[in-house]
Amino acid sequence: MKIKLNSDLIKIIISAILFVISLFFKDNIYLILLVCSYLVVSYEIFIDAVKKIFQGEIFDENTLMIIATISAFIIGEYPEAVMVMLLFEFGEYLSDLAVDNSKESITKLMDLRSDYVNLKNGDEIEKVDIKKARVGDLFLVKPGEKVPLDGVIVSGNTSLDTSSLTGESIPKEVNVGDSVLSGFVNGSGLITVKATSEFSNSTASKIINMLENSNEKKTKAEKFITRFSKIYTPIVVLLAVLLVLIPMLLGGNFNEWFYKALVFLVTACPCALVISVPLGFFCGVGRASREGILIKSSNGLDSLNKLETIIFDKTGTITEGKFEVRDIVSNGVSKEELLKYAAYLEYYSNHPIALSIVKAYNDKIDESEIKDYKELSGQGVKGIVFSKKLMIGSENLFSKEGIIVPNVKTFGTVVYVICDDKYIGYLVIGDKIKESANNLVNNLKKIGINRTVMLSGDNKNIVREVANKVNIDEYYAELLPIDKVEKLKEIKKTTFTAFVGDGINDAPVIKEADLGISMGSIGSDAAIEASDVVLMHDNLSKIVVAIKIAKVTQSIVKFNIVFALGFKLLMLVLATFGFASIWMAVFADVGVTLLAVLNSLRIMKIQI
């Protein structure tokens, strides 16, 4: 840990110097120096304690230290009183230092935002505040600079360092037409980018905002520690009082038992738990961000530990979602005419299949020829094109309409085209299974996820083929978005679930799952907002990494709780029977806290 000379360390040094000087004097000067030493190091603790009393929080670790040290002064144990507070404050300083170093390392990892943007106005380049940039603006990104805003390259080519967002060390080659995200670092090329987001909605801003709010939802362990501290502290104070009163009533020596009560109070300070448990979860979230996994809250990290079943969307999640027209089979019209009808009808749709059809047509679309356009959720599209009543969609759509189409069995998505209620052919749209999906299920089973499910709106043959290729246990096909939600609710009744998806239509299912996981790079804003975990590189193998990080975090947090409570209990017994001094109690409290903090920081370094 890097030592920082701040106000806390300065007051500790001044207090320590006064304490050492006091040892060379006697009587009044000796006492005055010790009191000054005590006040220098403890005045902020007294102020915090008073503030908390007015806020209704009477008992906390500061209260224990104040009661213990003032009581030590009362019975004449002046050096002990000062050293208790000195060691307590030094322990707090070292603990805060560890936390700050952890936050600093995470901040460096997520140092994504730029303060300025090189706006392009004609032939002039103006360096302006990034908050002034608007969607549609052109900006220049020079070699070595961060990409300030999300956008699309309009000129130039380069390689991008995407590791700050994705965790991937291999540079990404990009050319004109490719999308770039804020936070990427430009390599050797000069590129001009057209902004597709403003500063507040950029990927970098969203990620940093999510990290800053990552502790808003507390885990059960954190809530337990909060409740525990509020109940634990007054009980400890009461036991300390009884530790003096009961022996006194039985004829015991007041000073002897009062000293034991002081040791008991100092030993009982819950610093190790209060600091190390939240820090453990914070480190888990930070470690995940380094791996290109954005976990929005410590509660999300905790939920990863509970997973029993993972449910996947197919298109864009298990498969790449990059469709292309692989075959055209016409009936009564030419292939070119069939493709033209399909492209015109799909022109307004943002569905990947529709985009692939328009791309395959590769000709100018006259929008005036498209009328009465209507998208049928999860089934297809209908409208008037060239004064003809057209429909395009799945076999399921036409069976409901009473129109007979051939049952085509092929690996790919089959979309049928109907013109004036007559079948005129079909197109086969192909997709590719993601490389990261190939060993995913096997790796999930190795870490205890024994049930995998796939939900899709595609036809049964394609869904079965994809499920078999990646070894998914169960699959359900030809589902509308609402059907996916109902199916997830059904599965959720008996098992703790996660849903992994990428599209707008996946947002309701992601939200409904016990844990929502979305694909960050190609995923829609709606899916990302609804999810608890975002895979910034769309790499499915990162799900395994996220679960491993969650398991490591949980084991370290549990160890810290058991270790701190066990050690406290041992010291309390020793203090009660007079085998521990107040100095030992302070060393034990500070030592346990530091060990717990250092153990939590292991999460950032441990091999996953």
Q: Which of 17-21, 205-209, 512-516 has the lowest mean pLDDT?
A: 205-209
Most confident of 99-108, 418-427, 534-543: 418-427
What pLDDT, on the 0 to 100 scale, is given for residue 221?
Answer: 59
Instruction: Answer yes or no: is pLDDT of 543 > 90.
Output: yes
> 116-201 has which fold?
2.70.150
Q: Which of 98-107, 184-193, 501-510, 543-552 has the lowest mean pLDDT?
A: 98-107
What pLDDT, on the 0 to 100 scale, is given for residue 98?
Answer: 62
Q: pLDDT tens digit string along 349-369?
A: 877 788 889 999 988 999 999
**Which CATH architecture does the domain made up of 298-320+433-531 adopt?**
3-Layer(aba) Sandwich (3.40)
What pLDDT, on the 0 to 100 scale, is given for residue 256?
Answer: 83
For residues 275 and 153, the model is more confident at 153
Q: How far is CA 384 from CA 138, 201, 342, 391, 404, in A?
A: 37, 37, 12, 9, 21
506 flagged as catalytic: no
What pLDDT, on the 0 to 100 scale, is given for residue 204?
Answer: 65
pLDDT band at 181 (very low <50, low <70, confident <90, very high): confident
CATH class of 324-430: alpha beta
What pLDDT, on the 0 to 100 scale, is given for residue 76?
Answer: 80
The rounded distance, in Å, linking the Cα atoms of 108 and 568 is 36
The rounded distance, in Å, linking the Cα atoms of 272 and 95 is 9
pLDDT band at 2 (very low <50, low <70, confident <90, very high): low
Give the count of beta carbons closer than 10 Å to the beta carbon of residue 118: 19
Nearest in space to 593 (alpha carbons), one of 197, 337, 273: 273
pLDDT band at 510 (very low <50, low <70, confident <90, very high): confident
What pLDDT, on the 0 to 100 scale, is given for residue 3?
Answer: 63
Give the count of beta carbons closer than 10 Å to the beta carbon of residue 32: 13
Hey, where are the domains in the chain? 7-107+214-282+551-604, 116-201, 298-320+433-531, 324-430
Strand partners, 381: 375, 392
Tell me which of 137, 313, 431, 532 is the catalytic residue.
Answer: 313
